[in-house]
Amino acid sequence: MKILFITSTRIGDAVLSTGALNYLIQKHKGCEVSVVCGPLPATLFEGFPNIDEIIALKKEKHHKHWFKLWKKVSKTKWDIVVDFRNSLVSRTIFAKKRYIYGKQIDQKKHKVEQASHLIERKLDIPAPKLYFTAEQEQFADELLGSHGKFIAVGPTANWIGKTWESEKFIETIEWLTRDEGPFPDMPVAIFAAPGEEEQAHKVFDALPEDKRIDVIAKGNPGQVAAILNCAEFYLGNDSGLMHIAAACQVPTVGVFGPSYPHLYAPWGIHTAYAQTPETFDELTDFEGYDPKTLDRTLMKSLKTETLFNIIYDFLTEYESHRSSQSSKTA
């Protein structure tokens, strides 16, 4: 069986589609899957079983990238085509079954629910899932070195408007790692993508030298995911890193401001999020607002005390759930 899986160019959206991909792979044993995505998230799919090819589709003028993709995949007789991009390609190639994102999907639902409903899974929604290659796991081992347990923090994002202030991240890390905190004296790994180094170093440089791990602009997304897979806890802005952590089943708390949690909150019972008192629409409702020229955070109204309470309640409930599950399987 041959499956063509066309997903996003963005890391976060690509990760949120992996539950659907994993479901199809598990359902159709021995299938051969070709994944089409943007160049940035491509390495996240390298560890998946049954992957025959990863096609990193780079956008070109006049939609030439779609024509190149059509030329590449049109010669194959596909059993299943899944298309989150709603492209003409998936409509004009041979396929026994097509799942094409369109108006039939309730776009008010969470992105994971949308992905599940696209492949006709209304109940028992498959959660995002990542796999890792031996090389990716080796990269993680070498970078982490002798560090044992650690917490991970992503204080940056691809847009300054949804980045919580560095000072508040520092204060939160101090609370997390204090003697009476949830993770006393635990090392902290700071993550950021290339181009976000300056913001990340504001947090990294404030940490004790013997208690910090530098994952700022280190490795490709697949390698970074393998590192996050080793974390005890993740805290960060709404970003692709947050979704990677959640997909790795790491206890994850996202920090939201001008974002839509109903669409992009981290997914799963092992996750939670804190949000500004104002919604996305309220935060951006001011004269002169232009996302392209915005040069400041829009999240100043989110207080550290609010996040402390959310993290404390979340970890308490999460540990209770884990204990309950352990007792059931004992």
Residue where the block lists tokens 């080796």 = 138
> For 275-328, what is each residue's pLDDT tens digit?
999 999 999 999 999 999 999 999 999 999 999 999 999 999 999 888 777 766
Strands (E), 7-157: 32-37, 51-56, 78-83, 95-100, 151-154
Residue 329 has a pLDDT of: 63
Residue 147: band (very low, low, confident or very high) from pLDDT cuts 50, 70, 90:
confident
Query: What is the edge-to-edge ordering of all strands in the sheet holding 151-154?
Result: 212-216, 188-192, 151-154, 233-237, 252-256, 271-275
Q: List, in order, residues 6 or more apart from 217 with CB less than 8 Å away.
A: 192, 193, 194, 195, 196, 197
Listed in sequence order, the residues at least 6 apart from 287 whose beta carbon sits closer than 8 Å to its beta carbon are none
Q: Which amino acid is at 231?
A: A
CA-nearest of 36, 75, 80, 32 to 54 is: 36
CA 220, CA 62: separation in Å to the nearest integer? Answer: 29
Please state, in angstroms and rounded to a whole number, the distance separating the CA atoms of residues 313 and 123. 28
* H-assigned helices in 87-205: 111-118, 134-144, 166-177, 197-204
**Per-residue model confidence (pLDDT) at position 330:** 58
pLDDT digits (tens, 9 = 90+) for 218-247: 999 999 999 999 999 999 999 999 999 999
pLDDT of residue 322: 81
Q: What is the 3-state secondary structure (H, E, C) of 209-222?
A: HHHEEEEECCCCHH
Contact between 216 and 200 under an 8 Å Cβ cutoff? The reply is: yes
Q: Which positions ≥6 away from 284 have C-beta within 8 Å? A: 161, 258, 291, 298
Contact 51, 65 (CB under 8 A): no
pLDDT single digits (tens) 76-99:
999 999 999 999 999 999 999 999
* Contacting residues for 21 by C-beta, under 8 A, at least 6 apart: 5, 7, 33, 35, 45, 48, 82
Residue 175: φ, ψ to 5°: -70, -40
User: What mean pLDDT value characterizes the chain?
Assistant: 96
Across 127-131, 152-156, 319-323, least confident range:
319-323
Mean pLDDT of 34-49: 98
Measuring CA to CA, how many Å separate 16 from each of 85, 212, 224, 264?
Answer: 14, 29, 17, 9
pTM: 0.96
Angle formed at CA 16 by CA 166 and CA 231, multiple of 5 degrees: 50
